[in-house]
Amino acid sequence: MSKTRTEGRDDTEFSISRILKERGVSRRDFLKFCSTMTAALALPPSFAPSVARALDEVKRPTLVWLEFQGCTGDSEALLRAANPTVGEIVLDILSVDYHETIMAAAGHQAEAALDKAITEHKGKYIAVIEGSIPMKDGGVYGCVGGKSNLARAREVCGNAAATIAIGTCASYGGIPAAAPNPTGAVGVKEAVPGATVINLPGCPCNADNLTATIVHYLVFNKIPALDGHGRPLFAYGKRIHDNCERRPHFDAGQYVEAWGDDGHRRGYCLYKMGCKGPATFHNCPTQRYNEKTAWPIGSGHPCVGCAEPQFWDVMSPMYGRLPNVPGFGIEHTADAIGLGLAAGAAGAFVVHGALNAMRKDKEPGEDTKED
């Protein structure tokens, strides 16, 4: 830990829980937060005390947040983090030394704050990247302070302890990378291959998954287990379809046929309306959004597959049915599948097996790595 300029003390000597206490957060709220985090990390409840213990011992790391070809949606998601009081403070006590949307400084003073953070805490800070990185034409499609996004990404991600690519753009290129990809946009891992990158796709990412990832890193001092697409298993380990509250209706062959029809009002399956839940790995059904208020399928709109690489191209058109969506790569017609399903759950299982077998990707967990 480097010493910081202070009048009184070096607060990196203090643990997170102590700082929380100083900021008026009760022990009870802190433990409640640890339970929430334990659930978000998909750990059994018995882990809550060890999460609390680990946070008791953690020092205050630096975090820098850079936005490139983004829309600020992931920053906005951060502002909605689910456990407001404590969640906010946890982000606060991380010492967020650079975040253009919220920081008070501007211009060269802002850039100086970034330079200072990545120099003083070299190899120790966490970088969060929002938005894709344009590679074409020498990087002219994205510049901040006269520097190209690519040059900044190499500098910042290359010297970070870990980089979190937040949202689908930073993870895989996202919408700027959709065909014909006018700017040569790519995700962080492709732009800076040497960096240790955790992908948190979603459009935007669910803030709960961000806080859980950071806590995981602080608690276990290593990045979480990732699937073949670089996503933490605790948040992206299961298909939306397999955890969906409407799954019984799928198994029973009960579908929404038109917006606002009887089935739509009763919460029937949205598969025929274009739902991409069967091909999407994300914890939306269990985590939901905005303090577990709601999520797209629950509110009557199909899943669009936003946590999957290149979903913009391979999962569209949005209202087109799997598996006829280009890129899904199955020859069955949706109607044939639909008919098979109406026969009952057994048929459904056969179809699911078929869907799984046809997925181009490996099952998550087969290809994880930990640095």
| Residues within window 55-94 making contact with another protein, judged by CB under 8 A | 60, 67-77, 79-81, 84-85, 88, 92
Quick check: helix, strand or coil at residue 101? coil
| Residue 367 binds another protein, judged by CB under 8 A | no
| Residue 299 binds another protein, judged by CB under 8 A | yes
Binding mask 139-178 for another protein (x = CB under 8 A): xxxxxxxxxx--x----------------------xxx-x
**Which residues in 17-56 contact another protein (CB under 8 A)?**
22-24
Quick check: helix, strand or coil at residue 214? helix
Q: Which is nearer to another protein, 43 or 332 (CB)?
A: 332
Single-letter amino acid, residue 124: K
| Residue 331 binds another protein, judged by CB under 8 A | no
Kindly indicate which of the ranges 4-12, 33-41, 51-59, 230-238 contains the residues binding another protein, using the contact rule CB under 8 A: 4-12
**Which residues in 272-291 contact another protein (CB under 8 A)?**
274, 288-291
Residue of the chain from 316, 350, 359, 361 that contacts another protein (CB under 8 A) = 316
Residue of the chain from 59, 221, 258, 363 that contacts another protein (CB under 8 A) = 258
| Residue 342 CB-half CA count within 13 A | 7
Task: State both tokens at 78.
Answer: 């951060």
Q: How far is the CB of 345 from another protein (least distance, A)?
A: 21
What is the distance between the alpha carbons of residues 286 and 80, in angstroms, rounded to a whole number?
A: 17
| Residue 265 binds another protein, judged by CB under 8 A | yes
Task: State both tokens at 82.
Answer: 């689910």
Distances (CA, A) of 188 to 68, 163, 164: 10, 9, 9
DSSP string, 7-66: SS--GGGS-HHHHHHHTT--HHHHHHHHHHHHHHTT--GGGHHHHHHHHHH-----EEEE
Q: How far is the CB of 347 from another protein (least distance, A)?
A: 20
Closest CA to 250 of 242, 239, 258: 242
Q: How far is the CB of 185 from another protein (least distance, A)?
A: 7
Q: How far is the CB of 256 from another protein (least distance, A)?
A: 9
Quick check: helix, strand or coil at residue 186? strand
Residue 135: other Cβ atoms inside 10 A: 21
Closest CA to 77 of 262, 261, 257, 211: 211
Cis bond leading into 323, ω under 30°? yes
Q: Which is nearer to another protein, 112 or 342 (CB)?
A: 112
Q: How far is the CB of 225 from another protein (least distance, A)?
A: 26
Q: How far is the CB of 86 from another protein (least distance, A)?
A: 12
Distances (CA, A) of 248 to 160, 287, 342, 348: 45, 19, 12, 11
| Residue 193 binds another protein, judged by CB under 8 A | no
| Residue 339 binds another protein, judged by CB under 8 A | no
Q: How far is the CB of 263 from another protein (least distance, A)?
A: 9
**Mutual orientation of helices 207-220 and 48-57 as an angle, nearest 10°?**
70
| Residue 103 binds another protein, judged by CB under 8 A | yes
| Residue 228 binds another protein, judged by CB under 8 A | no
DSSP 198: E
| Residue 260 binds another protein, judged by CB under 8 A | yes
Q: Which is nearer to another protein, 145 or 344 (CB)?
A: 145
Q: Are 184 and 142 in contact (CB under 8 A)?
A: no
Q: Which is nearer to another protein, 51 or 321 (CB)?
A: 321
Residue of the chain from 27, 59, 105, 248 that contacts another protein (CB under 8 A) = 105
Instruction: Specify burial of residue 338 (Cβ count, 10 A radius: 0-12, 13-18, 19+).
Output: middle
| Residue 309 binds another protein, judged by CB under 8 A | no
Q: Which is nearer to another protein, 43 or 354 (CB)?
A: 354
Binding-site residue total for another protein (CB under 8 A)?
108
Instruction: Specify burial of residue 243 (Cβ count, 10 A radius: 0-12, 13-18, 19+).
Output: middle
| Residue 334 binds another protein, judged by CB under 8 A | yes
